[in-house]
Amino acid sequence: MRWGDKYKGGDSVDYASPALVGDKITMTIDLRLYKNRVSFAKNGNNMGVAYSGLNFWGSEIYPMFSILKVGHRIKVLNYELL
């Protein structure tokens, strides 16, 4: 596993440079018609679409986060439903 990868079907795909302590990661989940995608930005810089075709799973999408190591933290600063 490399840092900054994304996973699809269990396969690792290079996506972005690794996040460092203090980086601000923004995740956008766009479920509008013809969008249905997840994208990320790091420190305000768009990293592009990570996943598309979310409508494949139906109308109920549940965002989740995973922490790899003990002592790592995720802080949700804001969220919006539009």
The mean pLDDT value for 40-66 works out to 84
Q: How confident is residue 1, by pLDDT bands cut at 50, 70 and 90?
A: very low
Residue 55: helix, strand or coil by DSSP? helix
Q: What is the pLDDT of residue 82?
A: 62
- Strands 45-52, 11-14: pairing kind: unpaired
Task: Name every residue whose Cβ is closer than 8 Å to that of residue 6 and which is 6 or more positions away in sequence.
Answer: 12, 13, 15, 50, 51
* pLDDT(26) > 50: yes
Token pair, residue 18, equals: 């690794």
The dihedral region occupied by 77, where left means phi > 0, alpha psi between -120 and 50, and beta the remainder, is alpha
Provide the pLDDT for residue 74: 80
Asked if residue 22 has pLDDT above 80, the reply is yes
| Distance between CA atoms of residues 37 and 28, nearest Å | 8
Answer for the pair 67, 58: CB distance below 8 angstroms, yes or no.
no
Give me the pLDDT at residue 56, please.
78
- What percentage of the chain carries pLDDT values higher than 70? 93
Spell out the domain ranges in the chain: 24-82
pTM of the predicted protein model: 0.75
